[in-house]
Amino acid sequence: MKPVILVTRKLPDAVEDRLRRDYDPILNPDDALYTSDDVIVRAKDADAILPCHTEKFTADVIARLPERIKAIANYSVGYDHVDTDAAKARGLIVTNTPDVLSDATAEVTIMLMLGAARRASEGERLVRTREWKDWSPGFMVGTQVTGKRLGIIGFGRVGQVVAKRARGFDMEIHYHNRSPVSPELEEGAVYHATPEDLMPQCDVLSLHCVASPETIGLLNAERIALLPDGAIVVNASRGVVIDDDALIAALKSGKLTAAGLDVFNNEPDIRPEYRELSNVFLMPHIGSSTKETRDAMGFRALDNLDAVFAGEEPRDRVA
């Protein structure tokens, strides 16, 4: 018999075709958003779960999962929605889908940077509402990113691709990471040992760190104060790395010129101030939203499940 896989969201056709070929999947054709209780009920006959970041696997949820569940193969690179300590204690294998999101997320990061710097939200609104009247030298003046300093917090796969793309704008790259990367990966980027050392060097600050207890509220009022006046903040990682009160205050005061955000705390029920501020370029968590990437994420998750049920160590095990 084929292993039974509970799939919590509607996945791309190519991924579901492979699931039907190799497994006995319990699919979600209507793309309903399951509660934790829904997941537990639907998992009663499953051998593994293939969830997205929209499902939360707290210690309580993990304790209530059926005994036959062997693995949680996440359809995401982030796995902060899973209590990995509880999973380890239970003997559950947890995997994610790294690497395959890097190009797509870097593209969105560059879009956020340009959209924030060149006031894209304001401009589009003017055109759509027919409020665009004429041209003048002072009309819609934004910030030019060419030749500016880009600071990156989290110089992993995505951060390195962002740096590569930004070099096309002749940007000077600075970064903070838990440790320096090799000179070959730095490609001339300047390492800073602490976020505090990095902040004064950032005309644009781009966040690419994972969500963890250490990174919650990483960009706070004290660190924003260290940024140059008029800097731009971009976030395509996780909402929790930003202190919303601090960022909103800096955007209102003019300390920051603008922000480009693809991720938020408590999304989609984000802080209403973000919707009201004209100097925030907003996207609905679409960093990985390309056909190529979404297929690749599914195939990577299935590669991990293939290894689990073959008795092998999955490539992307995080717990």
According to DSSP, the β-strands at 48-50 and 24-26 are unpaired
Given the residues 165, 167, 285, 317, the one annotated as active site: 285
Given the residues 174, 223, 238, 294, the one annotated as active site: 238
Amino acid at 228: P
Given the residues 267, 271, 315, 317, the one annotated as active site: 267
Per the CB < 8 A criterion, the answer to whether 194 and 222 are in contact is no
267 catalytic? Reply is: yes
90 catalytic? Reply is: no
Cα–Cα dist 151/206, whole Å: 6
Q: What is the DSSP letter of 19?
A: H
269 is written with which tokens? 């029920």
238 catalytic? Reply is: yes
Per the CB < 8 A criterion, the answer to whether 198 and 204 are in contact is no
- Residues 7, 10, 11, 14, Cα dihedral to 10°: 110
Which residue reads 């297929």 in tokens? 295
Cα–Cα dist 223/221, whole Å: 6
Amino acid at 188: G
Count CA within 13 A, CB hemisphere, residue 33.
Answer: 4
For 48, the 3-state DSSP assignment is: strand
Q: Is 282 exposed, middle or buried (0-12, 13-18, 19+ CB in 10 A)?
A: middle
Per the CB < 8 A criterion, the answer to whether 162 and 208 are in contact is yes
Question: Is the previous residue joined to 268 through a cis bond, with omega within 30 degrees of 0?
Answer: yes
CB atoms within 10 A of CB 224: 22
Which residue reads 């056709």 in tokens? 13
Residues with catalytic roles: 238, 267, 285
